[in-house]
Structure 1
Amino acid sequence: MSKIEKAKGFKHSKPGLWLSIGTSAFGALGVAKDVRKARSESDTLLLANALIGAAALVTGTLLLVRELRQLGSDDVLAG
């Protein structure tokens, strides 16, 4: 297996999924900052943008968790 094929497979491995979930958690910090800024400036459009970004982060994280669970259930050794 080439290095490129291994790198592509990392995204769908347990460590790759955990890394993606961690990245999403750091993204949540940016969304929280945007929400604070929008509230302090009373900017409705910026607040809407931050909330939509938060919804996207939550949805993406839930998809990653689902994939992680499916990966665990497909494991023959896990039982």
Structure 2
Amino acid sequence: MEKAKASPSLKGWKHSKPGLLLSIGTSAFGALSIIKDVKKARSEQDRLLLANALVGALALATGTALLVRELRRLGSDDILAD
């Protein structure tokens, strides 16, 4: 099975400033789901659901931090800057 190839105009979208900002915005909507899960876990006193929500929150925070770092690198002229 052949993979669908992105058009040349969309190839750099993921590593562009608008693409990264869209990814960060999408992560913000993911945070709403995690908040809902935490509230549900607390009301039902379900430790497993709470642990799942907290792990999801950590993954979301890590992913957002990586996106912010990539966004900063796009704006930086210095290749070695972190």
Q: TM-score, normalised by structure 2?
A: 0.84
Q: What do you get for the CA RMSD once the two structures are aligned?
A: 1.4
1:39 matches 2:47: no
Identity of aligned residues (%): 75
Query: Matches of 1:42 and 1:8 in 2, distance apart?
Result: 46
Q: 1:52 aligns with which of 30, 55, 69?
A: 55
Gaps of 5+ in 1: none
The count of residues paired between Structure 1 and Structure 2 equals: 73
Secondary structure of 1:7 counterpart = coil
**Match in the other structure for 1:20:** 23
1:4 matches 2:20: no
Query: Matches of 1:52 and 1:5 in 2, distance apart?
Result: 37
1:70 matches 2:73: yes
Secondary structure of 2:15 counterpart = coil
1:29 matches 2:32: yes
Q: TM-score, normalised by structure 1?
A: 0.87
Give the structure with the higher percent helix: 1
Query: Matches of 1:74 and 1:31 in 2, distance apart?
Result: 36
Secondary structure of 1:11 counterpart = helix
Which amino acid in the other structure matches residue 74 of structure 2?
L
Gaps of 5+ in 2: 1-5
